[in-house]
């Protein structure tokens, strides 16, 4: 758990550091570029100083290896010379004994030199490899310094271009939003107009229905006899004016009704 939290903390710190760096670069890309170049130069200075130290150490190790190798070669040549003297038929037999003893001692010495010589040679080789790694790193750092300004200038240009593209995209989105609002307003107007037309049609239908109802009710209401012209005409035609009927007829009619 603690290990996880430690790694999590490192990741978060890295993310925060990256966010801060991005914010600084966006705020002042020119100063950020100069700071980056200065950092590359500081790295180059550190590496070149290390290379100088390693070269001195390598030279020392190589000289020691060369001395050990030369000493070994010198002793080996002496041993070969003694061996040749021993093998030479012209060498007196009484001297061969001392030569053999000398060769034995010399070979023992040479055999003791081998581990030291090999160690010196290996140390020199290791120093050379280590020096080569730092020389490569210093070369890479020098390349960074020489190309950093051009790359950072290009990166700054790309940032400016991206910022402009973002601003244009935002402006386009704002225009689209305004246009969408206008269209939405038109749609709202169309909706209101449609509702008004439907309401008017509904009122017209209601008025027509009321008219039809009134007509139907008027037609089906029984009319008063006095208001019926036909009846009035008929009644008027069958009415007898008393002044035109004789007294005899009037009396006869009354008698007939009574009977």
Whether 43 contacts 109, CB under 8 Å: no
State the number of CA atoms in the 13 A half-sphere of 43 facing the CB.
17
Distance CA 213, CA 219 (A): 10
Token pair for 205: 């239908």
Task: Name the average pLDDT for the chain.
Answer: 76
| pLDDT level of residue 222 (50, 70, 90 thresholds) | low
Whether 93 contacts 141, CB under 8 Å: no
| pLDDT level of residue 211 (50, 70, 90 thresholds) | confident
pLDDT at 216 over 80: no
Burial class (CB in 10 A: 0-12, 13-18, 19+), 40: buried
Closest to 64 (Cα-Cα) out of 117, 130, 2: 117
- Give pLDDT, residue 145: 81
- Give pLDDT, residue 18: 53
Highest mean pLDDT among 32-46, 147-161, 219-233: 32-46
Say which CATH class 2-168 falls into.
mainly alpha
Distance CA 105, CA 99 (A): 10
pLDDT at 124 over 90: yes
Token pair for 68: 């050990």
Distance CA 70, CA 78 (A): 12
If one compares 172 and 116, the residue with the highest pLDDT of the two is: 116
- Give pLDDT, residue 6: 54
pTM: 0.47
Whether 117 contacts 72, CB under 8 Å: yes
Length of the chain: 259
Residues 6+ apart with CB under 8 A from 110: 72, 75, 76, 79
Alpha-helical runs (H) found in the chain: 2-27, 29-87, 93-220, 229-238, 247-258
| Start-to-end CA span in the chain (Å) | 135
| CA 10 and chain centroid, separation | 22
Whether 119 contacts 65, CB under 8 Å: no
Distance CA 256, CA 259 (A): 5
- Give pLDDT, residue 11: 47
| pLDDT level of residue 35 (50, 70, 90 thresholds) | confident
What are the extents of the domains in the chain? 2-168, 228-258
Whether 103 contacts 86, CB under 8 Å: yes
What tens digit of pLDDT does each residue of 140-157 get? Answer: 988 888 887 777 677 777
């Amino acid at each position: 758990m603690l290990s996880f939290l430690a790694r999590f903390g490192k990741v978060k710190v890295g993310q925060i550091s990256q966010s801060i760096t991005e914010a600084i670069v966006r705020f002042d890309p020119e100063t950020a570029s100069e700071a980056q170049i200065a950092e590359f130069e500081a790295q180059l200075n550190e590496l070149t100083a290390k290379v100088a130290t390693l070269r001195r150490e390598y030279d020392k190790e190589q000289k020691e290896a060369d001395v050990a190798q030369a000493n070994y070669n010198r002793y080996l040549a002496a041993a070969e010379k003694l061996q040749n003297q021993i093998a030479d038929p012209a060498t007196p037999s009484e001297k061969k004994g001392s030569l053999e003893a000398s060769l034995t001692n010399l070979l023992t010495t040479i055999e003791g030199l081998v581990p030291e010589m090999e160690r010196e040679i290996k140390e020199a080789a290791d120093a050379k490899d280590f020096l080569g790694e730092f020389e490569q790193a210093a070369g890479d750092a020098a390349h960074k310094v020489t190309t950093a300004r051009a790359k950072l200038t290009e990166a700054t240009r790309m940032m400016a271009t991206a910022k402009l593209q973002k601003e244009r995209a935002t402006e386009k989105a704002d225009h689209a939003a305004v246009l969408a609002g206008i269209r939405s307003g038109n749609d709202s107007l169309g909706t209101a107009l449609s509702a008004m037309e439907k309401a008017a049609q509904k009122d017209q239908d209601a008025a027509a229905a009321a008219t039809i109802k009134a007509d139907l009710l008027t037609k089906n209401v029984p009319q008063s006899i006095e208001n019926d012209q036909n009846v009035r005409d008929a009644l008027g035609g069958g009415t007898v004016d008393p002044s035109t009927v004789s007294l005899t007829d009037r009396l006869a009619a009354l008698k007939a009704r009574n009977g």
